[in-house]
């Protein structure tokens, strides 16, 4: 059977290697996303190991250097080339919770032909619980640890000068979806105070 994502140990090795190439807070952010994804998945009856690995690898495109949309493309292509289709998909879908390409927050710093690859791949995706889970965890994870949606999205908005309202609203919709599935609040699952 084809393995669509690496083992936990291999994913951790890939992130350590990538941090050696391009250090920065993205590595700690990725570990927080992974731990949050694991906790929420366990509370919802999803595969916690898979959630951890996908969360850990969502920003692996950072290994190729500073970039905005470039990290999405680079991570997608890198994981795809390694044969990890589910991980490649998460590298793409984590940035597009509304499936609207133009809602990307940050610079579109890749050429049109790479944009076309991402647009086509995104159009083919039917989001599943793992896509939504990593979108949510990315939206609550700072490098220092989990935060409220409001705090994390506010931080992103302050850095980039914008946060599309439909993307903001979608994060709250996804949060509510997982809270119903888990039967408890996100804050309870992640140990945050309300």
Which domains can be identified in the chain, with CATH numbers? 8-190 (1.10.3210)
Q: How confident is the model at residue 8 (pLDDT cuts 50, 70, 90)?
A: very high
For residue range 63-105, list pLDDT tens digits in order: 999 899 999 999 999 999 999 999 999 999 999 999 999 999 9
62, 33 contact by CB (below 8 A): no
| CA–CA–CA angle 24, 10, 49 (5° rounding) | 95
- Which of 103, 90, 88, 78 lies closest to 131, judged by CA? 90
Q: How many CB atoms lie within 10 A of CB 89?
A: 25
- pLDDT average, residue stretch 146-155: 93
Q: What is the pTM of this model?
A: 0.96
- pLDDT average, residue stretch 96-123: 95
The gap from C-alpha 3 to its chain's centroid, in whole angstroms, comes to 20
What confidence score (pLDDT) does residue 2 get? 67
């Amino acid at each position: 059977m084809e393995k669509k994502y690496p083992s936990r140990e291999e994913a951790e090795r890939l992130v350590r290697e990538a941090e050696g190439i391009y250090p920065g807070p993205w590595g700690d952010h990725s570990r927080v996303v992974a731990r949050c994804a694991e906790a929420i998945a366990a509370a919802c009856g999803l595969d916690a190991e898979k959630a951890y690995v996908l969360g850990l690898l969502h920003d692996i495109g950072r290994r190729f250097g500073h970039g905005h949309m470039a990290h999405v493309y680079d991570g997608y292509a890198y994981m795809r080339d390694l044969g990890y289709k589910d991980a490649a998909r998460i590298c793409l879908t984590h940035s597009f919770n509304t499936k609207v390409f133009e809602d990307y927050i940050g610079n579109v710093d890749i050429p049109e032909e790479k944009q076309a690859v991402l647009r086509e791949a995104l159009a083919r995706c039917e989001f599943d619980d793992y896509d939504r889970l990593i979108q949510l965890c990315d939206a609550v994870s700072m490098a220092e640890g989990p935060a409220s949606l409001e705090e994390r999205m506010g931080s992103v908005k302050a850095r980039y000068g914008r946060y599309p309202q439909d993307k903001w609203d979608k994060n709250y919709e996804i949060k509510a979806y997982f809270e119903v599935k888990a039967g408890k609040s996100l804050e309870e699952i992640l140990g945050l105070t309300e």
